[in-house]
């Protein structure tokens, strides 16, 4: 009897969810089609635009120091830090601090601190613009108040445990966000390479709010992934996805399907079907799965050849910089290297 009632509730929930989703998707169809059309014509593959605002030539990749990353040793945090204000946006505890040299930093606490630090280094090695992130296992902050979120990572005396510091760049201002499907770089190997990087690192949080356009003094706008915390775990719906989880990362697929001219990479983000009552979120998350689909094989090979220049030690340094143990760093690096080999076999 109980089993029958549960089954009835389940079926009713499914019918309602599908009905709402179908209605919502139907109402959005013209807009989605217009967006898709605009994206396909903004920069066709036959005439790609210059990619200077998205990617730069990393030079001799084998000589890059991936322990210190894009900010280098000279920008690593040091000295005394003082609390400025708390940032209540997003899902991770964050707040601003300033050091005794007047440099401002964004501090993040929680489960994304290690994975994001490692991800920025791998992105930088591939030639993509990224934030200057550093991980500290412990940091003391003066005038540290009680936080609305993340208090469990703060002990007496304002001592933070497991913190990622993002250096604020002078002269850089956020001008807005950009879409994976409509931007100046659609059709370029550099944008396709960035999409592959998301699949390679299992980044399941590809919302536009995480894609920042930064204005630079005296330079062209930069297109950056400004939040890389949801990486190195398992992609999927909220019931199964994870981040900073070596076991899950090892067990996931990278390449989903190989076609004569294209490659589909595995990137799952569709929510659990009963959550389809939230139509906008369901549609957005489902569409994210297309980011890593229909990638030209030549573009996949291009990225593979770039990343193939990295040594084992360099890749391990990405994870050591994120506070992972030598054993963990070796485990993550092994998966990354396996995926790079997969790219070079395409």
- 53-57, 68-72, 275-279: which range is least confident on average? 275-279
Which pLDDT does position 40 carry in this prediction?
Answer: 34
Instruction: Answer for the pair 177, 225: CB distance below 8 angstroms, yes or no.
Output: no
Confidence of residue 260 (pLDDT cuts 50, 70, 90): very high
Confidence of residue 210 (pLDDT cuts 50, 70, 90): very high
Which pLDDT does position 159 carry in this prediction?
Answer: 97
Confidence of residue 54 (pLDDT cuts 50, 70, 90): very high
Query: Which residue range is the domain that position 308 belongs to?
Result: 1-346
Q: What's the chain's average pLDDT?
A: 85
Which pLDDT does position 170 carry in this prediction?
Answer: 86
Instruction: Answer for the pair 125, 66: CB distance below 8 angstroms, yes or no.
Output: yes
Which pLDDT does position 90 carry in this prediction?
Answer: 83
- 11-20, 50-59, 138-147: which range is least confident on average? 11-20
Residue with the bigger pLDDT between 108 and 38: it is 108
Total domains in the chain come to 1
Q: CA-to-CA distance for 107 and 169, rounded, in angstroms? A: 14
Is pLDDT at 42 greater than 60 in this prediction? no
Instruction: Answer for the pair 312, 340: CB distance below 8 angstroms, yes or no.
Output: no
Residues in CB range of 152: below 8 A, 6 or more apart? none
- 4-13, 36-45, 253-262, 302-311: which range is least confident on average? 36-45
Residues 249, 121, 251: CA angle, nearest 5 degrees: 5
Is pLDDT at 23 greater than 90 in this prediction? no
Closest residue by Cα to residue 92 from 115, 105, 109, 106:
109
pTM of the full predicted structure?
A: 0.83
Residue with the bigger pLDDT between 254 and 273: it is 254
Instruction: Answer for the pair 263, 297: CB distance below 8 angstroms, yes or no.
Output: yes
pLDDT (tens digit per residue) in 175-196: 999 999 999 999 999 999 999 9
Residue with the bigger pLDDT between 222 and 239: it is 222
Confidence of residue 282 (pLDDT cuts 50, 70, 90): low
pLDDT (tens digit per residue) in 58-78: 999 999 999 999 999 999 999
Residues in CB range of 189: below 8 A, 6 or more apart? 48, 296, 298, 299, 302, 303
Which pLDDT does position 283 carry in this prediction?
Answer: 64
Which pLDDT does position 225 carry in this prediction?
Answer: 97
Is pLDDT at 19 greater than 70 in this prediction? no
pLDDT (tens digit per residue) in 290-346: 899 999 999 999 999 999 999 999 999 999 999 999 999 999 999 999 999 999 987
Q: CA-to-CA distance for 343 and 295, rounded, in angstroms? A: 12
pLDDT (tens digit per residue) in 283-302: 666 777 889 999 999 999 99
């Amino acid at each position: 009897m109980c089993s029958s009632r549960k089954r009835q509730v389940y079926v009713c929930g499914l019918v309602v969810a599908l009905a709402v989703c179908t209605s919502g998707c139907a109402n959005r169809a013209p807009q989605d089609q217009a967006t898709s059309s605009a994206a396909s014509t903004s920069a066709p593959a036959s005439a790609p635009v210059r990619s200077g605002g998205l990617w730069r030539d990393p030079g001799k990749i084998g000589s890059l120091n991936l322990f210190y990353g894009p900010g280098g040793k000279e920008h690593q945090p040091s000295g005394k830090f003082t609390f400025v204000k708390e940032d209540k946006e997003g899902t991770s505890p964050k707040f601003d601090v300033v050091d005794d040299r007047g440099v401002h930093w964004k501090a993040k606490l929680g489960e994304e601190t290690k994975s994001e630090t490692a991800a920025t280094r791998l992105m930088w090695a591939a030639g993509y613009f990224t934030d200057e992130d550093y991980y500290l296992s412990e940091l003391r902050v003066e005038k540290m108040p009680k936080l609305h979120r993340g208090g469990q990572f703060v002990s007496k005396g304002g001592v933070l445990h497991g913190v990622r510091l993002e250096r604020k760049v002078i002269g850089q201002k956020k001008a807005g966000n950009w879409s994976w499907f409509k931007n100046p770089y659609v059709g370029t190997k550099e944008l396709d390479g960035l999409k592959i990087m998301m699949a390679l690192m299992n980044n399941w949080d590809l919302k536009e709010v995480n894609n920042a356009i930064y204005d630079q003094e005296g330079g062209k706008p930069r297109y950056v992934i400004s939040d890389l915390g949801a990486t190195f775990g398992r992609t999927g719906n909220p019931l199964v996805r994870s981040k900073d989880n070596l076991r899950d990362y090892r067990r996931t697929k990278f390449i989903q399907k190989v076609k004569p001219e294209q490659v589909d990479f595995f990137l799952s983000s569709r929510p659990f079907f009963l959550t389809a009552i939230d139509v906008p979120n369901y549609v957005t998350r489902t569409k994210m799965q297309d980011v890593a689909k229909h990638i030209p094989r030549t573009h996949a090979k291009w990225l593979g050849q770039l990343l193939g220049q990295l040594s084992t030690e360099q890749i391990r340094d990405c994870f050591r910089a994120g506070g992972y143990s030598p054993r963990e760093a070796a485990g993550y690096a092994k998966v990354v290297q396996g995926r790079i080999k997969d790219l070079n076999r395409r």
